[in-house]
Chain A
Amino acid sequence: MTSTDQTFTADPEDGTTFALTPGQIFRRRIFGHTGFLIGAGLILAIVLIAIFAPLLAPHDPYAQSLSARMLPPVWSDGGNPDYLLGTDQNGRDYLSRLIYGTRVSITIGLGAATVGLLIGVTLGVMAGYFGGWIDHAISFLLTAQLALPGLLLAMALVFIIGPSIWVVIGIVGVLHWTYYLVVTRAATQRIRSQDFVAAASASGASPRQIIWHEIMPNLLSSIIVIFTFELGIAILAESSLSFLGVGIQPPTPSWGLMIAEGKQAMFYRPWLVVLPGICLFLLVIGANLMGDGLRDITSPEGRNE
């Protein structure tokens, strides 16, 4: 708990106290939360890199050059200033491939986290709102989903259906909705027993109206928090699939796939494995820190744990 959480502040001019507006409290919490600032900064930077990849990349990420294969990064012996982070086994510029790799990770992360959101929130709100046998059925579905080995199933499905970016998004999303369900179900149950829902119901609102106008707005902040965490989880899932050969296929620059391609030569050219891993780490830790931060900022107590 820091001083930025004070709701009242003394005005030094005339000595009176006045309340902070919710907006001011919110801004103070955001700028007082180091973890959130680091996470959001990382994510913002990586999203900008993904958007402006063609302007930032010094080379075409697909252009092969037989004369420039396996160059080390510029700071090692034999480095070439044309290729700042060296080249891979096909002579493609590693920096450019890492830059374009942000597009694959961000697209799949956003896509899969959205698919999971649609499934999980729908089921969670239904279970929480209607209760009874619907709740029992959905809770059973949750138990069954948790029992399924997600990675194995994802691998098998991507392989059978045929790997493409859309298949990976769909499958990773379909296998990652439980967290949304658990949280929105509990929150809906809590909101449903509040007076304003009873009032809306008494004034003749249909369940659909109550769900969209009374419940959903109150779920928004928790959904955003989970979305941020799921972004990181989906990105890790894609990289694992691509690493195992049942995700993004060559020559697309996916960080997981790049690690798999670099694995053959990793004892002599460790940067081929180390660099994409660091990129993945930064992106996922950015998402996690941002999620932790958003949870602290949006929770009523504004706690730091």
Chain B
Amino acid sequence: MLRYIALRGLLALLVAFTVSLAAFLLLNVAADPAQAIAGEDATPDVIEAIRARYGLDRPLSVRYFDWLGGVLTGDFGESYYWHKPVAELVTDRADETITLALSALAVTIVIAIPLGAMAALNPNSWIDRFALGVAVSAQAVPNFWLGLIMIILFGVMVPIFPVSGDDSWKHFVLPAFVLGASSVPAVMRLTRTGLIEVMGADYVRTARSKGFRGWPLLRRHAMRNALLPVISVLAVQLGQKFGGSVITESIFAINGLGRLALESILGADIPTVQMLIFVFAIVFVVMNLIADILNAALDPRIRIG
């Protein structure tokens, strides 16, 4: 088990390093950051001055290792736009995004798993068809549009929940629903397929013949195995929620990392953008690692094989 965790951890570290390099190269080689900071109409002199001011005239490799060295000591550079250390900006606004991501995940779990389970227990019934319809529609609805429709509905017609800001838990209800809805199709389908497969397995049939029915059968026998793959997907989805917060936070005016990302992109604030891409990627990598370890802990076949 320890060997497995160590191997996985090493791989995660390697991925984190690669991702930091990829993000750096994409932002610095695909186009000229100095040009983006200066704007379209800038004269060559201005661009040259910006290059010197931000150290963009140094060779790429020097800039990358300078940045990486900073990251290892917790120094992500200074924001071009807010003129504050980037690390401070990000830690100041992380709370909102963590709250949003976790509550969105809760929404996904509460909708997707019961729906998938009911669909699996009654294949080809109306509830199965309904669940499939929900999945197909939720996949096709643009997330930002769903957010705006919620705002129109709850802002004007049924004003139960506030539609803008992040002052109380009530402010997070609608954003969490919108962000959570986007993961419902994947989690629901997986729960359904997993349960259908497990319900046909020999050991479940044996349990049935011993008199287990309904909820006890599900809880004690079927769910545990059916939910193994669901746990991995949930971890991956939680990682994606951070990236997805960009749209939700800007629509519902939540002052978190997603909104910071949009603002820093529109402000050509490369150090902030770079740190956010890095942080979101690390969250994803860590979530994946946790999912791998959880799966190995729950299923001995993985850690041995």
Contacts and interface: CB of A to CB of B under 8 A. Distances in A.
Interface string A276-305: 010011001100110010000000000000
Given A149-B281, A151-B246, A159-B265, A267 B156 contact: yes
B262 interface: yes
B247 A161 contact: no
A144 B276 CA distance: 16
A288 B139 contact: yes
A273 B152 contact: yes
B141 interface: yes
Contacts of A149: 240, 242-243, 276-277, 280-281, 284
Interface string A188-205: 000000000000000000
A284 B36 contact: no
Given A148-B19, A153-B26, 18 more contacts: A146-B236, A147-B284, A149-B240, A151-B246, A152-B243, A152-B261, A152-B273, A153-B23, A155-B246, A155-B261, A157-B30, A159-B268, A240-B143, A266-B148, A267-B152, A277-B142, A285-B137, A288-B140
A232 interface: yes
Given A149-B277, A289-B136, A144 B30 contact: no
Contact of B18 (A144, A236, A243, A292): A144
A48 interface: no
Contacts of A181: none
Nearest to B288: A147
B144 A243 contact: yes
Interface in B232-265: 236, 239-240, 242-244, 246-247, 250, 261-262, 265
A244 B266 CA distance: 10
B141 to A, nearest CB: 6
Interface in A28-62: none
Contacts of A147: 15-16, 19, 239, 281, 284-285, 288
A239 interface: yes
B155 interface: yes
Q: Report the interface size class on chain B.
A: 35 or more
Interface in A142-167: 143-144, 146-153, 155-157, 159-162
B149 interface: yes
B145 A273 contact: yes
Contacts of B155: 267
Contact of B280 (A140, A152, A289, A292): A152
Contacts of A273: 145, 148-149, 152
A250 interface: no
Interface of B: 11, 14-16, 18-19, 22-23, 26-27, 30-33, 36, 40, 136-137, 139-145, 148-149, 151-152, 155-156, 236, 239-240, 242-244, 246-247, 250, 261-262, 265-266, 268, 273, 276-277, 280-281, 284-285, 288
Interface residues of A, number: 42
Contact of B140 (A159, A259, A284): A284
Nearest to B16: A147
Nearest to B28: A160
Contact of B31 (A157, A236, A280): A157
8 contacts: A140-B18, A148-B22, A150-B243, A153-B26, A160-B27, A240-B247, A270-B152, A284-B142
Contact of A159 (B16, B36, B136): B36
Contacts of B18: 140, 144
B125 to A, nearest CB: 14
A288 B11 contact: no
Given A144-B18, A280-B145, A288-B140, A156 B273 contact: yes
B140 A151 contact: no
A151 to B, nearest CB: 6
Given A152-B246, A159-B266, A285 B140 contact: yes
A55 B140 CA distance: 28
A148 B27 contact: no
Contacts of A153: 23, 26, 277
A148 B277 contact: yes
A263 B261 CA distance: 20
A256 interface: yes
A266 B148 CA distance: 8
